[in-house]
C-alpha cells in the first residue's frame, strides 16, 4: 500500500510503508476510518489529507487528518495518523435550518453535499411530494441521509473517489470467494445466525403522549417464534413526521432481517472492493452461498500479518 499525505501548504509527501494499519468501511457509519503507524526518523509537517493506494494504484482510502502524533522514545520514532474519509465534512458541519417543499436529490445534494468537494450523486432524481424540515442542530449528513431514507428508501454509500451512490444497485462486478483458481482466496469463513437481532414489531407513538398511531409487524418472523418489540416516537404531530417514523420503523425491521445471517470471510493481503458489491462463496464444507453483499470491510496490517475482513449480509 502507498500512503500519500498532503501538508497544509499542499505539498504531497510519501510516508513510506506503514507497520500497523486498520481501515474500516461500514454501512453502519457514514465515514470510513483509518489509524496508521509509521516508523520515522524525521520531524513531520502538519498534514491535512491522506490518500491510500493499492499496489495496482486503486484508491483504497481518501480522507482528512483528524489527529497526527509523533513519538520519540527508547523503542524508536513513530508517526501515528488518524483519519476519516471526506464524509467527515458532512458530519462536522451543521446545516442551515429550513423547510423543503417537494425536494429532489439534485437540490439536496447541491445545497448540502456538493459544497464540500463531492463530485456527483447517483440515484433517483425525481421530485418527491413530501415536506422535509431541517431542524437546528442537524448536520449536513443528517439532512442528506434523512432525505435518502424518506424518499429513496436507501442508505447513501460514499465511495473514495467522491461519488455518492443512492441508487440501491450494487456494483456490477460479482466477487467470488473461492480457494479454487477462479476466485478470491480466503483463509477462514465464519457464518453466524443472530436471532436476537430480529425485530418482530415496532409501534409508532405520538409525540409526548401514550397514543399509538401505527404498528408495523413482521408476520413471518412472528411465525418463526421471534418476539422482539420496539417503540419509536414521532418528532411532532404531523403527517410528514408520521411518514418519516413509519419509514424508519420499516427500515429497522428490514435491516434486522439482513443482519440475521452474517458471514465474515478473511482474505490474505489487501483486497480491493466496495460496499454493496455482490458476492458469492464457494466453500468445500459450507457449499455455495449466493445473493450476498459486502456490508463492512476491515483492512488490517499488524504483527499477525496483512489481511482483509469482509462482513457479508444477504442482499
The answer regarding whether domain 175-194+260-314 maps to CATH 2.30.300.10 reads yes
* Structure confidence at residue 111 (pLDDT): 95
The answer regarding whether domain 2-84 maps to CATH 3.40.710.10 reads no
* Strands 175-178 and 278-283, sheet pairing: parallel
* Structure confidence at residue 15 (pLDDT): 94
Cell of 16: 513510506
- Counting every residue, how long is the chain? 315
* Structure confidence at residue 237 (pLDDT): 62
Residue whose grid cell is 468445500: 284
Q: What is the DSSP letter of 30?
A: S
Tell me whether domains 2-84 and 175-194+260-314 share a fold: yes
**Distance (Å, rounded) from C-alpha 201 to C-alpha 256?**
11
* Structure confidence at residue 170 (pLDDT): 55
* Structure confidence at residue 209 (pLDDT): 64
121 and 164 in contact (C-beta within 8 Å)?
yes
Q: What is the DSSP letter of 219?
A: H
* Structure confidence at residue 14 (pLDDT): 94
309 and 301 in contact (C-beta within 8 Å)?
no
Q: How far is CA 294 from CA 68, 116, 258, in A?
A: 30, 27, 12
**Distance (Å, rounded) from C-alpha 258 to C-alpha 313?**
6
CATH superfamily of 89-165: Baseplate protein-like domains (3.55.50.10)
18 and 38 in contact (C-beta within 8 Å)?
yes
Nearest CA to 18 among 64, 69, 61, 80? 80
Domain limits, the chain: 2-84, 89-165, 175-194+260-314, 195-258
Q: From the first residue on, what is the mean pLDDT of each consecutive set of 10 residues in the chain (315 residues)?
A: 95 94 90 94 92 91 95 90 95 94 94 92 90 91 91 84 80 81 90 88 77 82 87 70 76 82 93 88 89 92 94 87
What's the pTM value of the predicted model, to 2 decimals?
Answer: 0.80
**Distance (Å, rounded) from C-alpha 124 to C-alpha 265?**
33
Amino acid at each position: 500500500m502507498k500512503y500519500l499525505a498532503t501538508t497544509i501548504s499542499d505539498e504531497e509527501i510519501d510516508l513510506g510503508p506503514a507497520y500497523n494499519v486498520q481501515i474500516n468501511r461500514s454501512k453502519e457509519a457514514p465515514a470510513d476510518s483509518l489509524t496508521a503507524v509509521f516508523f520515522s526518523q524525521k520531524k513531520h509537517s502538519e498534514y491535512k489529507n491522506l490518500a491510500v493506494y493499492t499496489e495496482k494504484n486503486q484508491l483504497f482510502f481518501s480522507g482528512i487528518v483528524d489527529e497526527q502524533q509523533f513519538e520519540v522514545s527508547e523503542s524508536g520514532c513513530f508517526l501515528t495518523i488518524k483519519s476519516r474519509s471526506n464524509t467527515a465534512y458532512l458530519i462536522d458541519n451543521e446545516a442551515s435550518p429550513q423547510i423543503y417543499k417537494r425536494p429532489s436529490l439534485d437540490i439536496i445534494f447541491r445545497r448540502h453535499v456538493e459544497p464540500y468537494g463531492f463530485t456527483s450523486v447517483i440515484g433517483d432524481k425525481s421530485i418527491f411530494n413530501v415536506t422535509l424540515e431541517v431542524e437546528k442542530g442537524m448536520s449536513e449528513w443528517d439532512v442528506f441521509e434523512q432525505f435518502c431514507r424518506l424518499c429513496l428508501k436507501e442508505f447513501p454509500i460514499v465511495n473514495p473517489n467522491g461519488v455518492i451512490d443512492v441508487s440501491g444497485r450494487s456494483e456490477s462486478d460479482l466477487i467470488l470467494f473461492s480457494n479454487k483458481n477462479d476466485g478470491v482466496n480466503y483463509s477462514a469463513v465464519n457464518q453466524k445466525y443472530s436471532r436476537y437481532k430480529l425485530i418482530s414489531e415496532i409501534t409508532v407513538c405520538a409525540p409526548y403522549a401514550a397514543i399509538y398511531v401505527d404498528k408495523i409487524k413482521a408476520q413471518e418472523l412472528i411465525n418463526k417464534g421471534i418476539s422482539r418489540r420496539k417503540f419509536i416516537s414521532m418528532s411532532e404531530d404531523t403527517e410528514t413526521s408520521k411518514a418519516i417514523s413509519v419509514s424508519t420503523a420499516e427500515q429497522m425491521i428490514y435491516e434486522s432481517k439482513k443482519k440475521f445471517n452474517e458471514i465474515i470471510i478473511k482474505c490474505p493481503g489487501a483486497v480491493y472492493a466496495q460496499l454493496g458489491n455482490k458476492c458469492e462463496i464457494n466453500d468445500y464444507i459450507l457449499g455455495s452461498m449466493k445473493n450476498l453483499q459486502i456490508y463492512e470491510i476491515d483492512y488490517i496490517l499488524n504483527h499477525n500479518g496483512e489481511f482483509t475482513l469482509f462482513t457479508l449480509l444477504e442482499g
